Amino acid sequence: MSFFTLDEYVEKTRQVDRGQGLFELETPRMLELNLGGPGLASQAWIKMGTMVGYTGQVKFTREGIMEQGVGNLLKKAVSGEGARLTRAEGVGRVYLADNAKKVTVLKLNGEALFVNGNDVLAFESNIRNEIRMMKKLTGVLAGGLFNVRLEGDGLLAITSHYDPVTLLVEPGRPVYTDPNATVAWSASLQPELKTDVSLKTFFGRGSGDSIQMRFDGSGFVLIQPFEEVYFQAG
């Protein structure tokens, strides 16, 4: 059995400034926001409920009722806490984590990306966001009720259970995914929900999940090795 003295443990686990900028991975499962430092932005959007600690003078403001317009307001009312945002603003360090999920930081260069609403952790304030709803009722049953379209220039942090895998989508070669395991996809793709319900499914002997997302065209889909249930009907 190994053990540490208190001094050894503090030294082993203490926060270290890696000089990575506004978004810094403190650990694979914890994101550090360096707000208001030299040349760094003083604010960012974070997923509500993900702040686990902070230092300095930082103010947290829940997203205003009309912040993103009436359309987004109504969608947020349906989509639940997973799509709710908080503005972190000031000078200091903010530490974010979401159920010990793995954090990935992406850099958007005028591009757009769809992310499952529950997997958005943080993004720079100049990145535009819009909630998109699944059009069919099966989206509610599958748990893939809503997603967020993020577009612009800046940093974006997303989460996944364990290490995600990217599947390439090519013309004539559609990709099918479980909605509860789908993390993100390129904005060039418009997924459709596909149902495959049979008596075997009801008896627990189906050959696969009864509700799937189908991606056609050119792009990519990010999936995780875990089926996370975001919403349950009834």
Q: Which helix (H) or strand (E) holds 11?
A: helix 6-13
Indicate if the pLDDT at residue 158 is higher than 50: yes
Say if CB 115 and CB 184 are below 8 A apart: yes
Q: Is 202 left (phi over 0), alpha (psi -120 to 50) or beta?
A: alpha
Domain 17-223 class in CATH: alpha beta
The predicted pLDDT at position 218 comes to: 97
Polymer length in residues for the chain: 234
> Chain-centre distance of CA 74, in angstroms?
20
pLDDT band at 16 (very low <50, low <70, confident <90, very high): confident
Check residues 106 and 39 and name the one with the higher pLDDT: 106
At 126, the pLDDT band (50, 70, 90 cuts) reads: very high
Q: Over 80: is that where the pLDDT of 180 sits?
A: yes
pLDDT of amino acid 37: 86
What is the tens place of the pLDDT at every residue in 47-100?
Answer: 999 999 999 999 999 976 445 544 444 444 444 444 689 999 999 999 999 999
* pLDDT band of 196, cuts 50, 70, 90: low
